[in-house]
Amino acid sequence: MRETKRRMELFSSYDRRGMELHMERMAAEGWLIEEISTFTWKYRRIEPKKLHFCVTFHPDASEFEPEPSENELEFEEFCRHTGWVLAMKRASMLVFYNERENPTPIETEPEVEIDAIHTGMVKTVLVPYLVLAVMALVAGGVCLFFILQNPAVQLANAGAAASVLEMGALLLLCMVEIGGYYLWRFRARRAAVHGEFLESGRWATLFQRILVIFVILVFAGMLVSLAVQSGSAAARVLLTTLVYAVGAVLINGVRNALRKRKASPGVNKVVSFLVGFLFLFTLLMVVNIGMMVLNDTVFADSDEESYEYEGNTFTAYHDELPLTLEELLGIPSDGYSMRRWYEGSFLVQRSEMSQYPRFDAEDFREMPDMSYTVTHISVPALYGICREDLLNDAQNTVSDGEVIYRDFYEPVDPVPWGAKEAYRRYHLESYTNQYLLFYSDRIIEIRFSWEPDEQQMQTAAEKLLAGQ
């Protein structure tokens, strides 16, 4: 029979009443709380009994202090005198239990309780949440900045799109924890004037659970999206996440071990930080190098081949394409490298495809080629910024108010393309054979090495729209 067990529990940091009721239920089932660590709560087996719990704070208590301070021990003695026994502590949060039937609560004055909680909350919860909020804001802001720079490409990056959502959820979580606590404090002080206690925010726990489920779903969605495109990208994200999770557990372990060995708080903080930093740095390096090896072996594209030309090694691809030169010009695909590259999120999906002659083909310089990208926008609200992004891909270079380098898209007749809008790119001194085509939910960029006729335009559009 197991003597201990660990469970993942999710509670808002200031939902003390929710935690107390949960611990009471666990004690009635024969499990007494023993430790709260980074990801789990640890319980030890006891005789099932009715226990009362109290979650409170002491400003001296810390995760880095090797021994409890005299003040803290005095506080514990006061509590013991009225039957309250310390079950566990984490940072400045202390959990007591009491076996008496109707014990005197640890806190009997609401105003005093609110002040005592506040000191502990600021140190243990609010400051870390504030730091986390700033980190989420910076990380999410950087991702958002890059997405806004090049939305058509970046929104198709499952990792980038999921990062913004996850950082946004994390920021929201921090704001709800901090804001929710201050709102509770405001209401609790108002109730305290009338000598009343106000229960802590149970709704915040519910909100936190919903957000965590949302984050897990987004993460799972990102993994599935990546796995569909490339097992390598999914494996990298999974391994990196694992490294961070193990790093968090390791830092916690080092901190606890040093505290047990009576290391000073300063030494403990520095060593825990250094161990965590070195571990993450080394392991992330190992993951990156490992992924490079795996990419060349396990995740290598089976449809590619290497060939030699004038002493150099090149790669030829044999991917299936929705539109080929054979369909437009009747040229067989022999002697060509045909490549398809796909990237997509639940917002935008992008397929980049090309058909280029191999260098070892006879007269490869005379052989026609083409390349095209199809961007499918799943969320109509994002169509506008993707359209602007792709149109702005061509931009004149202006110096002293004078255009010195002409590069722009000019509207052309969309009818041959069956599109809503069509543009042709003008580059330097002449029109190129590069077109930008807008359809209801997708945008096609297509480039030919020759000037296509109307029949070829129509065939290309039909094939590309049918091929998605």
Binding residue (CB under 8 A) for other proteins from 10, 21, 28, 73: 73
Tokens of 67: 């021994």
Tokens of 182: 């201050």
Binding residue (CB under 8 A) for other proteins from 26, 79, 88, 136: 79
Binding residue (CB under 8 A) for other proteins from 115, 199, 303, 320: 115
Helix axes 110-121, 158-192, angle to 10 degrees: 150
User: Per rule CB under 8 A, is residue 429 in the interface with other proteins?
Assistant: no
Say how far apart CA 366 and CA 421 lie, in whole Å: 32
User: Per rule CB under 8 A, is residue 454 in the interface with other proteins?
Assistant: no
Toward other proteins, which CB reaches closer, 87 or 338? 87
Considering only residues 216-235, where is the footprint of other proteins by CB under 8 A? none
Residues 43 and 213: beta-carbon distance below 8 Å: no
Binding residue (CB under 8 A) for other proteins from 3, 47, 77, 429: 77
User: Per rule CB under 8 A, is residue 42 in the interface with other proteins?
Assistant: no
Toward other proteins, which CB reaches closer, 108 or 306? 108
Binding residue (CB under 8 A) for other proteins from 15, 26, 43, 56: 56
User: Per rule CB under 8 A, is residue 287 in the interface with other proteins?
Assistant: no
Region binding other proteins by CB under 8 A among candidate stretches 19-27, 70-78, 155-163, 216-224: 70-78
User: Per rule CB under 8 A, is residue 82 in the interface with other proteins?
Assistant: yes
CA dihedral 7, 13, 17, 20 (to 10 degrees): 30
Which position has the token pair 């005299």? 70
User: Per rule CB under 8 A, is residue 107 in the interface with other proteins?
Assistant: yes
Tokens of 222: 């990102």
Region binding other proteins by CB under 8 A among candidate stretches 129-137, 188-196, 320-328, 354-362: 188-196
Contact partners, residue 416, CB within 8 Å, separation at least 6: 422, 454, 457, 458, 461
User: Per rule CB under 8 A, is residue 105 in the interface with other proteins?
Assistant: yes
Binding residue (CB under 8 A) for other proteins from 47, 108, 296, 399: 108
# of chain residues touching other proteins (CB under 8 A): 30
Residues in the chain: 468
User: Per rule CB under 8 A, is residue 303 in the interface with other proteins?
Assistant: no
Region binding other proteins by CB under 8 A among candidate stretches 192-200, 204-212, 298-306, 393-401: 192-200
Least separation, in Å, of the C-beta of 20 and other proteins? 14
Least separation, in Å, of the C-beta of 268 and other proteins? 25
Region binding other proteins by CB under 8 A among candidate stretches 179-187, 244-252, 256-264, 294-302: 179-187
State the chain's maximal CA–CA distance in angstroms.
96
Please work out, in degrees rounded to the nearest 5, the angle formed at the alpha carbon of residue 281 by the alpha carbons of 255 and 240.
Answer: 95
Three-state SS sequence of 89-124: EECCEEEEEECCCCCCCCCCCHHHHHHHHHHHHHHH
Toward other proteins, which CB reaches closer, 115 or 199? 115
Toward other proteins, which CB reaches closer, 118 or 358? 118
Binding residue (CB under 8 A) for other proteins from 78, 307, 309, 431: 78
Binding residue (CB under 8 A) for other proteins from 25, 49, 190, 420: 190
Residues 125 and 181: beta-carbon distance below 8 Å: yes
Least separation, in Å, of the C-beta of 82 and other proteins? 5
User: Per rule CB under 8 A, is residue 112 in the interface with other proteins?
Assistant: yes
Binding residue (CB under 8 A) for other proteins from 193, 404, 428, 466: 193
Least separation, in Å, of the C-beta of 122 and other proteins? 14
Least separation, in Å, of the C-beta of 13 and other proteins? 19
Toward other proteins, which CB reaches closer, 54 or 263? 54
Residues 222 and 241: beta-carbon distance below 8 Å: no
Least separation, in Å, of the C-beta of 171 and other proteins? 19
Give me the residues that bind other proteins (CB under 8 A), please.
Answer: 56, 70, 73-75, 77-79, 81-82, 84, 104-109, 111-113, 115-116, 182-183, 186, 189-190, 192-193, 195
